[in-house]
Amino acid sequence: MSHFLDISQLSSEQAHQIIDRAFWFKNQTHYPNYASNSVANLFYENSTRTRVSFELAATHLHMPVVNLDLQHSSENKGEAIFDTVENLAAMGITHFVVRHVQERLPHKLAQQCRGSKIHIINAGDGIHAHPSQAMLDMMTVIEKKSDPRALKVAIVGDIAHSRVANSLQVLCRLMGVAELRLIAPSIWQPHTVHYGRVTDSIQEGLESADVVICLRVQRERIKASESYDLQTYRNLYAVNQRHLAYAQSDAIVLHPGPVNRGVELEDDIANGPQSVILDQVRNGVFMRMAILEWVLRNAGQPQQ
Ligand code: CP
């Protein structure tokens, strides 16, 4: 496997290796040189954190990066993404970081490109998966709380539309997280549960939790039939001081971003001492370095 598409492709040992490598990068000032490789960021959906952190990660590893202006890309002229990838590969691009509204599109690209020496990295496909986000979240949890097998983790919010929640469930299972609670109003509860227990009660879900992961309300993905009043949501599910008091007093609060302040998370929590949101963003660069390198090493290329 020379692509990074889904957490489910990883063994527990591989997940630990990637996280350990990300911590190693975090403690270095000089990085390996992978200048014979290059990265194309193909973001067909908006991104700030993921796109910039992959760009910084590649730059740290001395890999040239191109960010395609996809507002003006050839997809708008009818060119299939596969053809775009093939043409960029002909120019020497080796790593394709792909975000697209279509579920499993990175997987299809990886299938179509079988035999060529390129690596597809999933940067978020529809509501299906966002594996690099889950990995940087787990890195942050381990950094702050140590052994995930001893932890009670709660994910709260719009789980039904969250690719982050899907990848996190699979990763929590893989890492042996002691307990996972999935908290959402019934209309936003997941159709498929990969790991954990679902509840619509924030009190029950946050009870003595060590880690509280808030999710963005994915307004752009919510159909009219799935709508839920945001003021009611804020009253019942926003992580605020009152709700956080159900968790352990030293619980940490994560959010993948972008944060809708005053909807899923109150300002004083987002900016407070229990918030590790900016640690997540910081760790994202090192995690993406580890992933860019991992696909190379996994493809049997020589280490630097
Ligand atoms: N968490 C996340 O994917 O953020 P961006 O949409 O800014 O990349």
Each residue's pLDDT tens digit, 262-297: 999 999 999 999 999 999 999 999 999 999 999 999
Distance CA 246, CA 174 (A): 27
pLDDT tier at 300, thresholds 50, 70, 90:
low
Which ligand 1 atom minimizes the distance to the CA of 257? Answer: 1
Distance CA 6, CA 301 (A): 21
Distance CA 266, CA 271 (A): 9
Q: What is the pTM of this model?
A: 0.95
- Going by C-alpha positions, the residue among 168, 212, 219 that lies closest to residue 194 is 168
* Separation of CA 50 and ligand 1 centre (Å): 5
**C-beta of residue 237 within 8 angstroms of C-beta of residue 157:** yes
**C-beta of residue 182 within 8 angstroms of C-beta of residue 196:** yes
* Separation of CA 141 and ligand 1 centre (Å): 18
Q: What's residue 168's pLDDT?
A: 98
* pLDDT greater than 80 at residue 115: no
Residue nearest to atom 6 of ligand 1 (CA): 47
- Going by C-alpha positions, the residue among 182, 173, 176 that lies closest to residue 150 is 176
Distance CA 48, CA 233 (A): 26
Which ligand 1 atom minimizes the distance to the CA of 51? Answer: 8
**C-beta of residue 167 within 8 angstroms of C-beta of residue 195:** no
Mutation test residue for ligand 1: of 44, 48, 98, 282, the one with most atoms within 8 Å of CB:
48
* Separation of CA 255 and ligand 1 centre (Å): 10
Mean pLDDT, the chain, integer: 94
Convert the pLDDT of each residue in 230-256 to its tens digit. 899 999 999 999 999 999 999 999 999
The count of other CB atoms within 10 Å of the CB of residue 242 is 11
For the chain, give the number of residues.
304
Mutation test residue for ligand 1: of 44, 50, 53, 101, the one with most atoms within 8 Å of CB:
50
∠ CA 161-45-299, nearest 5°, is 95
Q: What is the 3-state secondary structure (H, E, C) of 181-230?
A: EEECCHHHCCCCCCCCEEECCHHHHHCCCCEEEECCCCHHHCCHHHCCCH
> Per-residue DSSP letters for 55-82?
HHHHHHTT--EEE--GGGSGGGGT--HH
Mean pLDDT of 168-192: 97
Spell out which residues line ligand 1, taking CB within 6 angstroms.
47-50, 124, 133, 256-258
* Separation of CA 78 and ligand 1 centre (Å): 27
Residue nearest to atom 3 of ligand 1 (CA): 50
* pLDDT greater than 80 at residue 303: no
